Amino acid sequence: MNKSQQRIYEQMGISPQVYAFCENIWDSLKDRWQEIDALSEYNQLKVIGAMQKNRVSEACLLGTTGYGYNDLGRESLERVYADVFHTQDALVRPQITCGTHALALALMSNLRPGDELLSPVGKPYDTLEEVIGIRPSRGSLAEYGITYRQVDLLPDGSFDYENIRKAVTEKTRLVTIQRSRGYQTRPTLSVNRLEELIAFVKGIKPDVICMVDNCYGEFTETLEPSDVGADLVVGSLIKNPGGGLAPIGGYLAGKRECIENAACRLTSPGLGREVGASLNALGAFYQGLFLAPSVTANALRSAIFAANIYERLGFSVTPGSEESRHDIIQAVTFGTPQGVIAFCEGIQQAAPVDGYVTPEPWDMPGYDSPVIMAAGAFVSGSSIELSADGPIREPYAVYFQGGLTWQHGKFGIMKTVQKLVEKGVILKDFGKQNL
């Protein structure tokens, strides 16, 4: 055991007991780290190849103002995204404010009054409930006469193919598939499982649009949902593809018609994608995408470490410590609000920004119960940076993600264990039982 390393962890508030417990687990995961390195290398070359193919130059890093006509960098970046995701087209804009906005844009631009939206994987993420109109809200799809239907996953997490077949009707125009778990403890969907589901739906109705909410899933596998039949993939740039550098933004990649529809909704009919100044964002967008495979790999390391730590401590974790990874989210179920709050306090205390503040649950817009969020991020709300959050409701699970560097992710998880010991959620002699 490296004494100088242990000493600096102690200076940062990690007890010798917590350090020894966590360090032993970290050292046992060397084979997993090699797998992550190979994945990162593959995706890094994919991104570089797309940038070289589209002749990205220094001029592409400069922005535009005003209307943004003839924005070389913006147009090149969208071709890069289309090549990375192997799609016909892409829309990548700072005017897309967040992941929920990107998803709302995709839905509202490709659905018309009288159409029906189907989710075959159960309830969508909380903030989409108001977009759809599950919870009434001004401007929802429901207000425009667009109906919604969902088919829940079976208890074992598999697709309910029988009821999906019944749910697809003549009115079904778009099928939305949330890849990640959201505030649920269901499994994240692998690209292979997405391929099976999309093929099944297309077998029933070939012209239906299959859209995948790809948030948190980018670069966690060598393939993306658009490689296996998704007509549209959507995500946020302050998650995986922004690499921790993008200050705002979202992307849509997919079939040309779907992207054109979205562009006309984002700006206005007749203007479409021709307007929308990139301001000073392009340099961060390009460099963030370049770093994204490596940053995502670091976040995967942090998630795997967290799963192994908390599974060893006896808590329910999803995914399990040895399961394959298809997003960067790690869920840990504590069963009490005290566990969720203590975990988030530990993450906050590990932050380089606002590490001195204490997160508290509050009634956030778009959620139906109090939510606690911990993040000391260089980009506000960036959940590719080390962060954790969760609703204060049963089963009292916390959702951990991010870490621009694996060193920060490792330290953050150690701080959560330390905080849980200090709060009495974990017994102080846990190390003797678990080492």
| Nearest by Cα to 180 from 225, 148, 137 | 225
Amino acid at 428: K
Whether residue 429 has pLDDT greater than 80: no
Look at residue 387 and give its three-state secondary structure.
strand
- Residues contacting residue 325 through CB under 8 Å, at least 6 positions apart: 188, 220, 300, 303, 304, 319
Q: Which range, of 175-189, 291-305, 311-325, averages the lowest pLDDT?
A: 175-189
The pair of three-digit structure tokens given for residue 38, joined into one six-digit string: 């190979």
Residue with tokens 């995706």: 43
Delimiting residues of CATH 3.90.1150.60 domain(s) in the chain: 3-43+293-434
Average pLDDT over residues 128-154: 96
The pair of three-digit structure tokens given for residue 422, joined into one six-digit string: 């200090």
The CA–CA distances, whole Å, from 413 to 67, 332, 341, 358 equal 45, 12, 14, 17
- Residues contacting residue 61 through CB under 8 Å, at least 6 positions apart: 73, 282, 283, 286
The pair of three-digit structure tokens given for residue 376, joined into one six-digit string: 């000391």
Whether residue 366 has pLDDT greater than 50: yes
Look at residue 318 and give its three-state secondary structure.
strand
pLDDT number for residue 52: 98
- Residues contacting residue 413 through CB under 8 Å, at least 6 positions apart: 22, 302, 305, 306, 309, 400
Delimiting residues of CATH 3.40.640.10 domain(s) in the chain: 45-289
CB 210 within 8 A of CB 119: no
Q: Which CATH number does the domain 45-289 belong to among 3.40.640.10, 3.50.50.60, 3.40.50.300, 3.30.1490.20?
A: 3.40.640.10
Encode pLDDT of 163-203 as tens digits.
999 999 999 999 999 999 877 878 899 999 999 999 999 99
CB 159 within 8 A of CB 195: no
Average pLDDT over residues 341-357: 96
Q: Please state which CATH number belongs to domain 3-43+293-434.
A: 3.90.1150.60
Encode pLDDT of 51-74 as tens digits.
999 999 999 999 999 999 999 999
Burial string for 39-67 (b: 16+ CB within 10 Å, else e) reads bbeebbebbeebbeebebeeebbebbeee
Helix extents (H) in 112-269? 126-132, 161-167, 191-204, 256-266
The pair of three-digit structure tokens given for residue 420, joined into one six-digit string: 């849980």
Encode pLDDT of 16-47 as tens digits.
999 999 999 999 999 999 999 999 999 999 99
Whether residue 83 has pLDDT greater than 70: yes
| Nearest by Cα to 295 from 3, 67, 43, 27 | 43
| Nearest by Cα to 81 from 252, 313, 206 | 252
| Nearest by Cα to 281 from 237, 312, 319 | 237
* DSSP secondary structure of 176-204: EEE-S-SSS-SPPPPHHHHHHHHHHHHHH
pLDDT number for residue 435: 41
Three-state secondary structure readout of 262-295: HHHHHCCCCCHHHCCCCCCCHHHHHHHHHHHHHH
Q: Which range, of 140-144, 184-188, 234-238, 346-350, averages the lowest pLDDT?
A: 184-188
